[in-house]
C-alpha cells in the first residue's frame, strides 16, 4: 500500500506543546516540507525565538539555536556569516520580531542578510498569556488592553511586510495565511521561495503568516479562523509586497 501522508523528515517525533487549534503546527509543517523538498536539512540551522515558538528547537530536526527575545535576526546574522554555505532561518512571533526585535529585524533586512525569516503574526502575545502585541488590532481586547486597543494611547499596529518592502536589502516580503487549503498551498509556496532565495543568494526573505490563537483570543479553533478572516485579513492584506525575482524578469 502506498503512503499518501507522512510526517516531514525535518520534524522530530517530540510531541508539540501548542494549544489545540493553534496554527503553529501547520506552519512548522510547511517549513519542514520546504526543507525536505529542497534537501537542505543536513545543512539547515534554525533560530528559535522567544514566545510560543521558543521550543521549536525541539521540533525541527535540523540544528537549532535558541536566541534571546527579539535577537533572532542578529543571531542568524552571526550564524550565516560564520557558515555561509549553511541554510539559516529564523522562526519568530510578532512580539519578538515587531516589538522587542524591531531594530534587529530592520537592520538584518536592510543589510540584505541572506537568511529566511518565518514570521508568525497572531496579533497577541501567546506565551505570556494574551497581552497586546505590536500587531494587535485597533479595539482588540487583550489582557493589557482590557477596554480594547486604544490607538490614542497604544498607537497603531505595525504592518511588517509593507514596512520592510521599502528596504533595498529585502528579496521577498510576502504575507500569507493558513486558514484554508488554498491559502496553505500558497503559504507553502512562499516559504519554499524564501528558502530558495537564500540558496540563490538573494538576501533577506520574510514570509509573514497570519495565524490564530484560539486560547488567548477566547474562541474555538473554528471561530478563531473566522475571526482571522474577518478582522486580521482586512487589516493585513495577503499578498506579495516585494519580490526581487519578479523584478529580475
Partner 1 sequence: MPEKVLMKGNEALAEAAIQAGCRFFFGYPITPQTELAAYMSKRMPKVDGTYLQAESEVAAINMVLGASAAGARVMTSSSSPGVSLKSEGISYIAGSDLPAVIINVQRGGPGLGGIQPAQSDYWQATKGGGHGDYHMMVFAPSTVQEMVDLVSDAFDLGDKYRMPAMILADGMLGQMMEPVALPESEGKALPEKEWAANGHQNKREHHIINSLYLQPQKLEEKIRERYERYHVIEEKEQRAECYRTEDADLVLVAYGASSRIARSAVNKAREMGLKVGLIRPITLWPFPTKAIAKAAKTAKAFLAVEMSMGQMVDDVKLAVQCSVPVHFYGRTGGIIPTPGEVLEQIEKILGGDR
Q: Which of 19, 64, 127, 244 binds partner 1 (CB under 8 A)?
A: 64
Residue 179 C-beta: closest distance to partner 1, Å:
30
Q: Which residue lies nearer to partner 1 by CB, 82 or 222?
A: 82
Other beta carbons less than 10 A from residue 98's beta carbon: 24
Binding mask 22-51 for partner 1 (x = CB under 8 A): -------------------xxxxx-xx---
Answer yes or no whether residue 128 interacts with partner 1 by CB under 8 A: no
Q: Where are the alpha helices (DSSP H) in 13-97?
A: 24-38, 56-59, 72-82, 94-95
Q: What is the DSSP string of 87-103?
A: EEEEEEEHHIIIIITHH
Residue 122 C-beta: closest distance to partner 1, Å:
21
Query: From CA 8, how far away is CA 11, in angstroms rounded?
Result: 6
Q: For residue 116, how many C-alpha atoms fall within 13 Å in the half-sphere facing its CB? A: 23
Name the nearest CA neighbour of 162 among 225, 221, 114, 206.
206
The piece of 18-26, 55-63, 155-163, 231-239 that touches partner 1 (CB under 8 A) is 55-63
Which chain residues interact with partner 1 by CB under 8 A? Answer: 12, 41-45, 47-48, 54-55, 57-58, 60-68, 71, 73-83, 86-87, 103-104, 106-107
Amino acid at each position: 500500500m502506498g503512503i499518501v501522508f507522512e510526517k516531514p523528515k525535518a520534524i522530530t517525533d517530540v510531541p508539540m506543546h501548542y494549544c489545540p487549534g493553534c496554527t503553529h503546527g501547520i506552519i512548522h509543517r510547511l517549513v519542514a516540507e520546504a526543507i525536505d523538498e529542497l534537501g537542505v536539512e543536513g545543512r539547515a540551522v534554525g533560530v528559535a525565538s522567544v514566545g510560543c515558538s521558543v521550543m521549536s528547537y525541539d521540533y525541527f530536526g535540523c540544528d537549532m539555536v535558541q536566541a534571546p527575545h527579539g535577537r533572532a535576526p542578529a543571531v542568524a546574522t552571526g550564524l550565516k556569516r560564520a557558515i555561509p554555505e549553511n541554510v539559516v532561518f529564523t522562526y519568530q512571533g510578532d512580539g519578538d520580531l515587531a516589538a522587542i526585535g524591531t531594530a534587529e529585524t530592520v537592520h538584518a533586512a536592510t543589510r540584505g542578510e541572506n537568511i529566511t525569516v518565518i514570521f508568525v503574526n497572531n496579533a497577541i502575545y501567546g506565551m505570556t498569556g494574551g497581552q497586546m502585541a505590536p500587531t494587535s488590532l485597533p479595539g482588540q481586547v487583550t489582557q493589557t488592553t482590557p477596554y480594547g486597543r486604544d490607538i490614542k494611547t497604544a498607537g497603531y499596529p505595525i504592518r511588517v511586510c509593507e514596512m520592510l518592502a521599502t528596504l533595498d536589502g529585502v528579496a521577498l516580503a510576502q504575507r500569507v495565511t493558513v486558514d484554508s487549503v488554498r491559502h496553505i498551498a500558497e503559504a507553502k509556496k512562499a516559504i519554499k521561495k524564501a528558502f530558495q532565495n537564500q540558496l540563490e543568494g538573494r538576501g533577506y526573505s520574510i514570509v509573514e503568516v497570519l495565524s490564530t490563537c484560539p486560547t488567548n483570543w477566547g474562541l474555538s479553533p473554528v471561530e478563531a479562523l473566522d475571526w482571522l478572516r474577518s478582522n486580521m485579513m482586512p487589516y493585513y492584506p495577503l499578498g506579495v509586497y516585494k519580490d526581487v525575482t519578479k523584478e529580475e524578469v
